[in-house]
């Protein structure tokens, strides 16, 4: 892909979108910390982790580490409100996310394993569908262009997503982080299928988000090159294995 | 984060997204409409071209086929979003899952069912429907079919994570379609037989209103289960 190889120096190649990337266009987040205390959850009747506590404050990156099946995705989905914690609490400022869905706070961007792209829609339409679901608005055009240039997707903006390669689909999924200003980013395996250049672009994007006061929780096996704390999920695997009662 | 959330804009965005998807390549809109036209057309071949026979069964055939066309398209209502991961995004919408379900149900009805209703008089002609019953055919479909989308949405949400869940969904949903079918056909037959169709229409409307209250809430609850 021609555009992909241009990505690292896109600002010089696309001077017209450069202003977006300067300091005065970077959002300033003033978000409360995300505090988990004694979280436990089960999946398929099996306890995945328990007694899980952590705090992520403004400007912090938390890596979730652990072998397959240790509950990294489960924890991310729990934070995003896609499941219920069986014990413990999860607070985002005054909002209790163990009780109410975090959706109503409009504070996070979640990117999971699936790319959430509609094959028949173009990338531009897919982006509009995403921001439409979240805010009711189409994305700002200059911003979409800047984000697409960042991930080398400029030439793909008006092509239906069914023609994308799997790497392109994944980058198209990551595009969402450039479209909205939300303090909390949840990233599930963000580097899978990314080439080295795009990995650097992603690292750069994450660094800027942290600098702006954002928070990131990322589950990944690969080194991304952004400094962050690590949470080893193995430390919270159940001490005594008990068969949970089936609900 | 930006203070007030524009829920009506989000509702509109989700509605437009689904209408667009229904009428894009491989969408359910064209599929349900062609099924409706072809399936009704088969009946004169099957039962023979006697005008009296056709007129007698016209209302029932059109309603049953409309119901099956609806069922056929409901299969993918949430499953497509579940499979490609966009259901995760919908669940994070500040509109809330109940609102999201309502927007998707409305989009399904407008994009998939409304074209069937609009074309039903042509099929009435094909089935030799009594001349006095055309108005009631359209009216009863207009009043009754929203219940099909609303009830069907609950079934679609319950079976969203089930592979080949379409059959299971039919088993769940079809019995619940019976009241709508009875009163819908009853209203048309009453109009054709020069009796008062209003009681039938009133019951038809009542079923739709009950479904309107329960449908989005039950769908949202079922979707929440599938997200875990």
Decide if pLDDT at A49 tops 70. Answer: yes
- At B4, the pLDDT band (50, 70, 90 cuts) reads low
- pLDDT for B164-218, tens place per residue? 888 899 999 999 999 999 999 999 999 998 899 999 999 999 999 999 999 999 9
Decide if pLDDT at A70 tops 90. Answer: no
Query: Which residues, including other chains, have CB under 8 Å from residue B143's CB and lie 6 or more apart?
Result: B184, B201, B204, B205, B208
Q: Is residue B35 part of a domain?
A: yes
CB contact, 8 Å: A103 with chain B? yes
Give pLDDT, residue A233. 87
Q: Using CA atoms, how far apart are residues B167 and B158, in angstroms rounded to an integer?
A: 12
Number of structural domains found in chain B? 1
Q: Which residue of B has its CA nearest to A85?
A: B228
Q: Using CA atoms, how far apart are residues A112 and A115, in angstroms rounded to an integer?
A: 7
CB contact, 8 Å: B8 with chain A? yes
- At A162, the pLDDT band (50, 70, 90 cuts) reads very high
* Chain B residues in contact with A120 (beta carbon < 8 A): 21, 24-27
- pLDDT for A168-198, tens place per residue? 999 999 999 999 989 999 999 999 888 889 9
- At A26, the pLDDT band (50, 70, 90 cuts) reads low
Decide if pLDDT at A17 tops 50. Answer: no
* Chain A residues in contact with B223 (beta carbon < 8 A): none
Q: Is residue B42 part of a domain?
A: yes
Q: Is residue B57 part of a domain?
A: yes
Decide if pLDDT at A4 tops 60. Answer: no
* Chain B residues in contact with A112 (beta carbon < 8 A): 85, 88
- pLDDT for A117-153, tens place per residue? 999 999 999 999 999 999 999 998 889 999 999 999 9
Give residue A152's region: left, alpha or beta (phi > 0; psi -120 to 50): left
- pLDDT for B20-58, tens place per residue? 999 987 788 899 999 999 999 999 999 988 999 999 999
Locate B7 and state its tokens: 């829920």
Give pLDDT, residue A165. 92
Q: Note down the domain range covering B201.
A: 7-227
pLDDT over 90, % of chain A = 51
- Lowest-confidence range among A203-212, A233-242, B107-116, B207-216? A233-242
The order of strands in the sheet holding A46-56 is: A46-56, A34-43, A87-92, A95-96
- How far is A48 from chain B, CA to nearest CA, in Å? 13
Give pLDDT, residue A12. 45
- At A25, the pLDDT band (50, 70, 90 cuts) reads low
Higher pLDDT, A6 or A201: A201
Architecture of domain A2-236: 3-Layer(aba) Sandwich (3.40)
Q: Is residue B25 part of a domain?
A: yes
Q: Using CA atoms, how far apart are residues B139 and B135, in angstroms rounded to an integer?
A: 6
- At B163, the pLDDT band (50, 70, 90 cuts) reads confident
Locate A115 and state its tokens: 């790319």
Is the reported ipTM for this assembly greater than 0.90?
no
Decide if pLDDT at A8 tops 70. Answer: no
Decide if pLDDT at A13 tops 60. Answer: no
- At A1, the pLDDT band (50, 70, 90 cuts) reads very low
pLDDT over 70, % of chain A = 86
Average pLDDT over residues A39-44: 87
* Chain A residues in contact with B93 (beta carbon < 8 A): 103, 133-134
Q: Is residue B206 part of a domain?
A: yes
Pairing of strands A215-219, A184-188: parallel
Q: What is the dihedral of CA A126, A130, A131, A132, to 10 degrees?
A: 90
CB contact, 8 Å: B53 with chain A? no
Give pLDDT, residue A89. 92
Please answer whether residues B201 and B140 qualify as being in contact, where contact means their C-beta atoms are separated by less than 8 angstroms.
yes
Count other C-beta atoms under 10 Å from residue B187's C-beta: 29
Residue with tokens 């989308």: B149
CB contact, 8 Å: B86 with chain A? yes
Give pLDDT, residue A217. 95
CB contact, 8 Å: B10 with chain A? yes
CB contact, 8 Å: A130 with chain B? yes
Decide if pLDDT at A23 tops 70. Answer: no
- At A199, the pLDDT band (50, 70, 90 cuts) reads very high
Q: Is residue B1 part of a domain?
A: no
- At A2, the pLDDT band (50, 70, 90 cuts) reads very low
Q: Using CA atoms, how far apart are residues A150 and A140, in angstroms rounded to an integer?
A: 15
Across the interface, do B8 and A136 touch by the CB < 8 Å criterion?
Answer: yes
Q: Using CA atoms, how far apart are residues A165 and A159, in angstroms rounded to an integer?
A: 12
Give pLDDT, residue A10. 41
- At A227, the pLDDT band (50, 70, 90 cuts) reads confident
């Amino acid at each position: 892909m021609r555009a992909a190889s241009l990505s690292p120096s896109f600002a010089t190649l696309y001077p017209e979108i450069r202003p977006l990337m300067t300091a005065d266009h970077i959002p300033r987040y003033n978000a409360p910390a995300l505090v988990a205390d004694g979280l436990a959850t089960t999946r398929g009747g099996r306890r995945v982790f328990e007694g899980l506590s952590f705090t992520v404050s403004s400007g912090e990156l938390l890596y979730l580490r652990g072998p397959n099946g240790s509950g990294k995705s489960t924890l991310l989905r729990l934070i995003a409100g896609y499941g219920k914690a069986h014990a413990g609490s999860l607070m985002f400022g005054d909002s209790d996310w163990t009780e109410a869905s975090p959706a109503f706070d409009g504070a996070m961007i979640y990117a999971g394993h699936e790319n959430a792209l509609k094959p028949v829609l173009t990338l531009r339409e897919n982006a509009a569908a995403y921001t439409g679901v979240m805010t009711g608005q189409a994305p700002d055009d200059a911003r979409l262009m800047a984000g697409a240039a960042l991930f080398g997707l400029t030439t793909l903006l008006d092509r239906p997503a069914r023609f994308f390669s799997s790497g392109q689909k994944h980058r198209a999924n990551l595009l969402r982080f450039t479209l909205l200003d939300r303090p909390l980013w949840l990233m599930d395996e963000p580097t899978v299928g990314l080439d080295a250049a795009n990995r650097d672009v992603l690292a750069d994007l994450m660094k800027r988000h942290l600098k702006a006061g954002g928070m990131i929780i990322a589950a990944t096996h690969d080194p991304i090159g952004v400094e962050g704390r690590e949470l080893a999920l193995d430390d919270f695997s159940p001490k005594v294995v008990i068969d949970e009662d089936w609900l | 984060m930006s203070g007030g959330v524009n829920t009506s804009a989000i509702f509109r965005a989700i509605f437009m997204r689904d209408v667009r998807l229904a009428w894009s390549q491989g969408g359910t809109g064209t599929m349900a409409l062609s099924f409706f036209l072809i399936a009704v057309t088969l009946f004169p071949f099957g039962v023979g071209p006697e005008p009296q026979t056709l007129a007698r069964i016209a209302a029932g055939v059109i309603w049953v086929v409309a119901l099956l066309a609806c069922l056929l398209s409901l299969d993918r209502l949430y499953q497509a979003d579940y499979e490609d991961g966009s259901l995760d995004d919908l669940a994070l919408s500040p509109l809330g899952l109940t609102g999201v379900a309502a927007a998707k149900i409305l989009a399904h009805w407008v994009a998939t069912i409304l074209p069937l209703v609009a074309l039903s008089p042509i099929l009435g002609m094909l089935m030799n429907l009594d001349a006095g019953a055309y108005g009631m055919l359209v009216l009863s479909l207009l009043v009754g079919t929203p219940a099909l989308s609303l009830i069907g949405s609950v079934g679609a949400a319950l079976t969203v994570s089930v592979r080949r869940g379409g059959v299971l969904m039919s088993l769940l949903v079809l019995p619940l379609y019976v009241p709508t079918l009875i009163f819908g056909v009853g209203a048309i037959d009453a109009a054709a037989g020069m009796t008062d169709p209003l009681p039938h229409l009133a019951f038809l409307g009542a079923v739709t209103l009950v479904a309107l209250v329960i449908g989005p809430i039950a769908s949202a609850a079922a979707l929440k289960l599938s997200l875990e």
